[in-house]
Amino acid sequence: MNEASDSKDLIIIGAGPAGITASIYAARKRMDLVVITTNVGGQVVLSSEIENYTGFQYITGEELGTKFNEHLARHKFDLKIEEVQKLERKNDLFKVITGVGTYMGKTVIVATGRKPRELKVPGEREFKNRGVTYCATCDGPLFEGLDVCVVGGGNSALEAVLQLTRIAKSVHLLHRRSELRADKVFVEKAKVSDNVKFWFNTHVKEIVGDNLVRGIRVQRNGAETLLPVRGVFVEIGAVPNSNIVGFVEKNRADEIIVNCKCETNVPGLFASGDVTNVPEKQIVVAAGEGCKAALSAFRYLSQRQ
């Protein structure tokens, strides 16, 4: 096989807001591209309520994911539902290795997003999917009428709380600091809910149970307490999915470092969205970064040709 002649102009890894937008812009430029992803929509489809995406005063994550799919369907390019295991540099080309095969590209955009951060306490791994969950949208209905807790203090944690107030018997919000970091609109909604209890300056020590979660052990003001909850929703942020590429510059948080053109320190390799060091992990920001990455990749190829 002649790798140079069989290589794509562009390979986009990931199909969240950044990858989807990059795909649309690249397709409009008539680039020969392939998009490789495990799902279309990314973390967006896990959001229950989105009120800050331009053009939609209110839309659910599932609905926005459907809109993304509809927009993608208007353009012709290869879409592969595969998991990328590794990205390598081979001469002037890039080699993307999945569990199914390999793909060669002249340029690559890494738009792999982030994954939920773990508590790393005893019992978390043992009770994962048996009471410990990282997605209130996905698993909330399983805890109808039960006592649950949410760990975290940002927007994702408060969104989870608000979802669970309509499902669970009671919701305990556990936060290690004295103040919440979430937007005030979320905090105010949670405070008026009669089945929410706030636990500040609280540290999770252990998750306990038998076959399923039966409680969570916490420490507050030097004293330990066992809360009898049946569900533990972990919402303490996320870490970048950047481990597929080892030859690019990253910061201490393992985010891929990019400039304002979404260029990395490796010529021909671009990155966009939540996997990068760009601040503010928001849907609209990721979409804009995807646009810039695609245009930068197109310009890079045009200058070389």
User: Which residues are identified as catalytic?
Assistant: 135, 138-139
Would you say how long the chain is, in residues? 305
Please, what's the largest Cα pairwise distance for the chain? Answer: 67
Phi, psi of 256 (to 5 degrees): -75, 125
Q: What gap in Å lies between CA 154 and CA 169, rounded to an integer? A: 22
Please check whether residue 120 is in contact with residue 106, taking contact to mean a CB–CB distance below 8 angstroms: no
Please check whether residue 114 is in contact with residue 281, taking contact to mean a CB–CB distance below 8 angstroms: yes
* DSSP 3-state percent helix, strand, coil across the chain (nearest 5): 30, 30, 40
Angle, helices 17-28 vs 61-72, to 10°: value is 20
Collapsing DSSP states into helix, strand and coil, what is residue 85? strand
Name which of 273, 271, 278, 240 is nearest 18 in CA terms: 273
Contacts for 180 with CB less than 8 Å, ≥ 6 apart? 153, 154, 157, 158, 187
